[in-house]
Amino acid sequence: MNLSWLSNLTKPFSSLLNPIAERIGDWLGRRKPHLYLHVQPATSMWSIAPQPQRDGSSLELMHVVFCGGFNHDDRKQTLVITSAYPEGTEPKFRMIENLSIPPETIVNERVDALVLPVRAKKEKPWTGRFILVDQFQRKYKTKKITFQWAGPPTTK
Q: Return the pLDDT at 31.
A: 79
pLDDT at 96 over 90: no
Q: What pLDDT does 56 receive?
A: 87
Instruction: Kindly give, in sequence order, each residue whose CB lies less than 8 Å from that of residue 36, ignoring residues fewer than 6 positions away.
Output: 70, 71, 72, 73
Q: Is the pLDDT of residue 154 over 90?
A: no
Instruction: Give the model's confidence band at 97: pLDDT under 50 very low, under 70 low, under 90 confident, else very high.
Output: confident
Per-residue pLDDT reduced to its tens digit, 26-75 = 565 567 999 999 999 999 999 999 988 899 888 999 999 999 999 999 99
Is residue 25 very low, low, confident or very high in pLDDT (cuts 50, 70, 90)?
A: low
What confidence category does residue 7 fall into, taking pLDDT thresholds of 50, 70 and 90? Answer: low
Residue-averaged pLDDT of the chain = 87
**Distance from C-alpha of 82 to C-alpha of 103, rounded to nearest angstrom:** 17
Q: How confident is the model at residue 2 (pLDDT cuts 50, 70, 90)?
A: low
Count Cβ neighbours within 10 Å for each residue of 46-56 and write b for 16 or more, e otherwise: bbbbeeeeeee
Enter the DSSP assignment of 19.
H
pLDDT of residue 93: 82
According to the model, what pLDDT value does residue 10 have?
Answer: 62
- Predicted TM-score (pTM) of the model is 0.77
pLDDT in tens, 120-136: 999 999 999 999 999 99
Check residue 27 and give its pLDDT: 61
Residue 120: its pLDDT value, please? Answer: 94
Measure the CA–CA gap between 98 and 94, rounded to whole angstroms.
Answer: 9
Domains and CATH numbers, the chain: 35-149 (2.60.40)
